[in-house]
Structure 1
Amino acid sequence: MLTHLSLLSPSSSSTIRLHNTKPKSLFHPFPPSSYPSSNLTFLHRKPYPHEKTTYPHTKNNTFKPSALADFGFGNFESAQSVLEAVSVLTAIIVVHESGHFLAAYLQGIHVSKFAVGFGPILAKFNANNVEYSLRAFPLGGFVGFPDNDPDSDIPVDDKNLLKNRPIVDRVLVISAGVIANIVFAYVIIFAQIVFVGMPIQESFPGVVVPEVRPFSAASRDGLLPGDVILSVNDVEIPKTVPNSVNSVSQVVDVIKKSPKSSVLFKVGRGGEDFLIKVTPDQNLDGSGRIGNLDGSGRIGVQLAPNVKILNEKPKDVLEAFSFTGREFWGLTFNVVDSLKQTFLKFSQTASKVWGPVAIIAVGAEVAKSNINGLYQFAAILNLNLAVINLLPLPALDGGSLALILVEAIRGGRKLPLEVEQGIMSSGITLVFVLGIFLIIRDTLNLDFIKDLL
């Protein structure tokens, strides 16, 4: 059984929704970004100054451009946060493979290998005729069975080989990894609600500027981190509410349409309002970032809905389970919907599919932000992995289930071994090629790598 993390739905982060959407979610949205891709930076956030006050204006009347350190996508400045993200990813892989392993073990089915990662072995040990290993490439993992191992001493007709078991037994083993991830996601959400609390969102008018890129148009013309943009070109920015025009998108749209033209911002800062004119730079490099399409305007800021977050713990166990169930089904619905949109609009979303490097980069930023984000990041990854592994593609769990379905339709007659091996081998090759491509692409998108090039 294989676990693959070389593909992650590009809109998975959008599963973090506003309250009272349908299905209802209890968790607040993390801010999209005016740079880079908002699909990655929904889970990219530090505590904002306004979250410590009743109203987000801060007591700071200094009025000068800022040269803030650049925290764009994939900044690996904190070794601890990267380690936390890698730990979350590894735990999810281990849980998935443990599902396969335990389903086989409890049925007395022979297992020969349990691996986290692919490629060269970094560390291994043997116990009860099973080789446990940690491998070099963090694209996933696998549980190996001795069914077609020429070096195995187990007779080919042994009833405890996976291939010789009834269809129901094999389906249970193959689907157990997905089931394990789904259960793990539920446990993570429950733990967040019980130990941290349920995030409750209160919205305010305007859009927050949590970060400003150094040497950008915004920095040059006087915008500061912590500013609240209250209006753009004399058009008031309302508070972000469900089922309405996104306040961040409203600001971004004006910026994109105004390259080399002044945009008038009404900015709240330190309890006072200022008028600031910012002239967006014109982008000509076609990098694909938000606001960076060829010829459009960009000012080099990260924007976020102007919200304040409070954590409310459930009154009792029943309420905790109620909150968890509602959030779990809401996240599941949105993960499935995101994957559907990926395939329906593949030409638009293919460039935003996550690989392992992007997952770790976003996870590291979340880990530096707050514990709520890390909980939900882990839950979304589990659900994404579960849904993707159910796809009927070779090398995925869904591909193996599809072959069993063909066998059942054929009255219990399996496809010729050569055909099955050819299908699975082609799938594995495709996944590895895709994985290497995404690793290279995502690595080149890291800010510190871009600075070196």
Structure 2
Amino acid sequence: MTIIVALLVFSIIVFIHELGHFTFAKMNGVKVHEFSIGMGPKIYSIKKDTEYSIRLLPLGGFVSMEGEDEESSDPRSFGAKSILQRASIIFAGPFFNIIFTIILFIPIFIFIGSQTTTLGGVTENGPAYSAGVKVGDTIEAIDGKKVNSWQDVIQSLNESDGSDVKLSIDRNGQNKEISVTPKKGEDGRYVIGIETKVERNILTSIKNAFTTTYDMTVQMITFVGQLFTGTVPGGVGNSVSGPLGVISIVSEAAKMGIVNIMYIAAVLSLNLGIINLVPFPALDGGRLFMLAIEAIRGGKKLDPNKEAMINMVGLGALMIFMVFITYKDILRLF
């Protein structure tokens, strides 16, 4: 059952991505031959102006557009559209994944609550308690640096490395400054014995959905940079998962309830969106890079056949990388 849930989650994320391409292609008057979820042989299809199909392997999908990778004289072809129109169609896939991530995070934060910089608990005889910090205090800054989230509080305390920190707090409308000495916790991080107050409301949840998506995006971009420079902690093979690894992760999350499934789906959706924006051939980012070159050349188009060849080479490289990652997934699973 958990495998089915994992495949369903994966399919939904791919569907959202391809829906972005499809929606903007239709909006810009591009002829779409097929909108497919899955790869391999067709198991179901219905044809109107566009053929909508479901294929056997739920590990991908595609939108087939007129003149996307070949010459076409059709005025509704992808190549006949302006650079901005084509860029919007390509960018729409990753963009829909990012928006989907935010949408998933909102009910997650409504359910589990949103962490705030107001204190819901102070450990008795802990560093903060001994310094005079009280439940209900709101931390506004640490060492003069404004904090906007509970994560900022945790990070600032951990970066103190055990040195005194000055908390700027709001207590019933009055500003106070309290000096506290963090101590190292069991997990190795520096703490002062405080707990966040959790709030459950829609506005705070929407705000946290955006900020969490932004923070995770920054982390993913950093990881992609490490991936290309070969500086990934633990090595590429141990830090990246392919379809098998993803299905395994989602399957484990499925055992722990719907909120965990939604969280993993949000992370995977954001991953798909960010990775696809990497300027590598065959990825959406690679196609956007080609359009940027076309714009620099004053609108002079690249040879479609050469561009298709570049994308084929890029796809081949990605397939080889996927085989390597799948091999690592199998070793981890068994």
Q: TM-score normalized by structure 2?
A: 0.71
Residue pair 2:114, 2:204 contacting (<8 A) in 1 also:
no
- Cα distance, 1:445 vs structure 2: 2.4
1:47 is matched with: none
1:349 is matched with: 235
1:417 is matched with: 304
Residues 126 and 330 from structure 1, CA distance in 2 versus in 1: closer, same or farther, beyond 3 angstroms? same
- Which of residues 212, 215, 219 is equivalent to 1:330? 215
Residues 348 and 444 from structure 1, CA distance in 2 versus in 1: closer, same or farther, beyond 3 angstroms? closer
1:187 is matched with: 103
Residue 368 (1) aligns with residue 246 (2) = no
C-alpha root-mean-square deviation of aligned residues, in Å? 3.1
- Cα distance, 1:409 vs structure 2: 1.1
Q: Choose 163-172 or 423-432, whichever is displaced more.
A: 423-432
1:82 is matched with: 3
Residue 158 (1) aligns with residue 69 (2) = no
Residue 444 (1) aligns with residue 331 (2) = yes
- The answer to which structure has the higher helix fraction is 2
- Matched residues, number: 269
CA distance in structure 1 between the aligned counterparts of 2:275 and 2:122, rounded to whole angstroms: 34
1:422 maps to a residue whose letter is M
Residue 115 (1) aligns with residue 27 (2) = no
- Which of residues 66, 76, 88 is equivalent to 1:172? 88
SS in 2 for 1:414: coil
CA distance in structure 2 between the aligned counterparts of 1:138 and 1:431, rounded to whole angstroms: 18
- Cα distance, 1:84 vs structure 2: 1.9
1:319 is matched with: 204
5+ long unaligned stretches in structure 1 = 1-79, 205-240, 251-308
- Cα distance, 1:372 vs structure 2: 3.5
- Which of residues 119, 126, 129 is equivalent to 2:49? 129
- Cα distance, 1:182 vs structure 2: 0.7
Residue 340 (1) aligns with residue 225 (2) = yes
Residue pair 2:69, 2:305 contacting (<8 A) in 1 also:
no
CA distance in structure 2 between the aligned counterparts of 1:335 and 1:328, rounded to whole angstroms: 10
What's the CA shift string for 1:390-438, capped at 9, x where partnerless? 1111110001111111111111111222211110111122222222332
Residues 350 and 158 from structure 1, CA distance in 2 versus in 1: closer, same or farther, beyond 3 angstroms? same
- Which of residues 268, 274, 280 is equivalent to 1:387? 274
Instruction: Pick 1 or 2: higher relative contact order, CA cutoff 8 A, min separation 6.
Output: 1
- Cα distance, 1:177 vs structure 2: 0.4
1:427 is matched with: 314
2:146 is matched with: none
2:83 maps to a residue whose letter is I
- Cα distance, 1:376 vs structure 2: 2.0
Residues 311 and 143 from structure 1, CA distance in 2 versus in 1: closer, same or farther, beyond 3 angstroms? farther
Residue pair 2:68, 2:79 contacting (<8 A) in 1 also:
no
What's the CA shift string for 1:331-363, capped at 9, x where partnerless? 222222232233330484211211010011111
Q: Choose 130-139 or 386-395, whichever is displaced more.
A: 130-139
CA distance in structure 1 between the aligned counterparts of 2:100 and 2:218, rounded to whole angstroms: 17
What's the CA shift string for 1:148-181, capped at 9, x where partnerless? 689xxxx932221111101111011000001100
5+ long unaligned stretches in structure 2 = 124-153, 162-183, 190-194
